[in-house]
Every structure is written in C-alpha cells, then in structure tokens.
Amino acid sequence: MNLLFVCSENRLRSPTAEEVFSEYDGVNAIGCGTNLDAETPLSGDLIEWADVIFVMEKSHKNKVSKKYKELLQGKKLACLDIPDNYDRMQPELVRLLKNKVPRYVRL
C-alpha cells in the first residue's frame, strides 16, 4: 500500500509520518509538501502513485483538492488535523500519527 503524507514544507510532520509508516510491512510511505520550496514538493506523479493521501490540515486538503481534482478520482484523501506544532519525530507527533492513520487504512 502506498501512503502519501502531505504537510506544508515536508520538514517536520510528513517526514515523521514517512519514517514511522515505512517500517510497516507492505507499506510504502512518502512525505511531501504543498509549498513550492518544500523538501519534496507535491506533484501529480506522487498523487498517482498513492493509494491513500493523508494531509495534515484542512488547508492542505483544499490545496490538494483544487490543484489535483482529476487525479484524485477514486483516491482516498484524509485529513489528520495535526497542526504545525511539533518537531520531527517528536513522541507526541508519532503517537498522534499512530492513532489517527489506522482509522483510514488497515496496517
């Protein structure tokens, strides 16, 4: 299963999610950002690659939905409602991700 995690800059939240969920058997995880200067910018290729797309905030969901409307057909797009208040691999962030992501996919 290919999981795409989207935040703004791909520096804290989505890289944490990528690292956490890449350890699961049968899961490929990639993090990216909606900003043009993101470490890994969101692209149509990443949307096409993903089975499930997780965004951290509603603003990310709006940007993804607007820019990639056609590519999202048949894709699951889920908002995790995780604000930009955490450092990379902060235990609270890892705990939130591990609690929220399985609500949408079987791991």
pLDDT of residue 57: 98
pLDDT in tens, the chain (107 residues): 999 999 999 999 999 999 999 999 999 999 999 999 999 999 999 999 999 999 999 999 999 999 999 999 999 999 999 999 999 999 999 999 999 999 999 98
- Give the domain ranges of the chain: 2-82+98-103
DSSP character string of 53-77: EEESSHHHHHHHHHHTTGGGTT-EE
Give domain 2-82+98-103's CATH number out of 3.40.50.150, 1.20.120.10, 3.40.50.2300, 3.40.50.620. Answer: 3.40.50.2300
In this structure, are residues 46 and 30 in contact, taking their beta carbons and an 8 Å threshold? yes
pLDDT of residue 107: 87
What pTM value is reported for the model? 0.97
As a whole number of angstroms, the distance between CA 47 and CA 97 comes to: 20
